[in-house]
Amino acid sequence: MSSAGKVIKCKAAVLWGLEQPFSIEEIEVAPPKAHEVRIKILATGICRTDNNATTGVMPAKFPVIVGHEAVGIVESIGEGVTSLKPGDKVIPLCVPQCGICSNCLKPDSNYCDMLDIVGKGVLSDGTSRFTCKGKPVYHYMNTSTFTEYTVVRDVAVAKIDAAAPPEKACLFGCAFTTGYGAAINTAKVTPGSTCAVFGLGGVGLSVIIGCKIAGASRIIGVDINPRKFEKAKAVGATECVNPKDHTKPISEVLKEMTGDSVRYTFEVTGNLDTMIDALASCHKNCGMSVVVGDPPASSVLTFDPMLVFDGRTWKGCIFGGWKPVNDLPKLVSDFMAKKFNLDELVTHILPFDKIEEGFNLLKKGESIRTVLTFQH
């Protein structure tokens, strides 16, 4: 029997409060309202941004279902949805594309007004579609993918190739798209240049892939976890450096290694000190540093203004600069055409109920990307 128009009961990983473990609960997922879509999740990646919600680094309203990097199938649609239909394979978007706000109308902006990085936790009508034990459970970053079913706005969905494998394609919901776009769109890495990537997780490795495809001749991976170096080199890093192996500041180390020729640096950890290190590591006059990692909420950064007065460019990056509804289908098609290989990014595939194990792998630095799969 069709489930359209009916409440669906399913399993979800609920966070009841800060610093609490995920609790696998039976929840109720309401039908989609006007301009909303209900999605059956097939696979979802574990990103550090989700872990940041558990610690308060990223704002969230509790109880909450986090998760923002996934692939699923449209189960049903609400009134007024014309761009999607039941059965479509899709990626829920943490960065929507409404197409009508002032930001969406700018050709070089993807910061849609419907983006929720402040933890509102509700959809357009100010309410949630999730309940558990008679209480509302809040949404996270427009997506909430640590659940068998979720409801999102229709402008926060990208339809993709039906043949795309969910365990790899889910990375286009955050990690790969963000990192690859940081190199290609935000920095616009030039052929023959030297790049340094600070942080060698899933997003950092995706930055490396982007730098390599852009034609960078030297790509230096920087991380305090040497276990990540092998993977970094496998996707294109020419060498890797552990700042703990040196007594000098990493900016001085990179300057000596390259003859002061690092043109582009990328900070992919969200650590405030590392942001300054990455800025100081690019060429003082013509260098560019891109902040890719999520900074802690309500934090303040203090730095020497001479770092930018000398001529450096310091840029931020949201979702790799892509217009997600328009661009994600093309990126997935490029992946299907083998323009890039994501095998090195997915180190673990676990069933959904092993979510705590997946987060432990992340916290211990033993994974690049863990993908959770659902048995519907």
CATH fourth-level superfamily of 8-175+321-373: Medium-chain alcohol dehydrogenases, catalytic domain (3.90.180.10)
Which residues make up the CATH 3.90.180.10 domain(s) of the chain?
8-175+321-373
Cβ atoms of 262 and 255 closer than 8 Å: yes
Which residues make up the CATH 3.40.50.720 domain(s) of the chain?
187-316
**Mean pLDDT (whole number) for 223-235:** 97
Quote the pLDDT of residue 1: 53
| H or E stretch covering 361 | helix 355-363
Cα(18)–Cα(237) distance, rounded to whole angstroms?
37
Choose the weakest-confidence range: 52-61, 82-91, 220-229: 52-61
**Mean pLDDT (whole number) for 17-38:** 97
pLDDT of 308-363, one tens digit each? Answer: 999 999 999 999 999 999 999 999 999 999 999 999 999 999 999 999 999 999 99
Quote the pLDDT of residue 297: 76
Cβ atoms of 156 and 143 closer than 8 Å: yes
pTM of the full predicted structure?
0.96
Cα(208)–Cα(235) distance, rounded to whole angstroms?
7
pLDDT of 112-125, one tens digit each? Answer: 999 998 889 999 99
3-state secondary structure of 370: strand
Q: Which CATH class is domain 187-316?
A: alpha beta
The CA radius of gyration of the chain, in Å to the nearest whole number, is: 20
In sequence order, what DSSP letters do the residues of 134-195 get, joined into one string? TEEEB--TTT--SBSEEEEEGGGEEE--TTS-HHHHGGGGTHHHHHHHIIIIII-PPTT-EE
pLDDT of 40-64, one tens digit each? Answer: 999 999 999 999 999 988 899 999 9
Write b or e for each residue in 319-332: b if 16 or more Cβ atoms lie within 10 A of its Cβ, otherwise e. bbbbbbbebbbebb
What is the tally of helices (H) and strands (E) in the chain?
Answer: 11, 17
φ/ψ of residue 370, rounded to 5: -100, 130
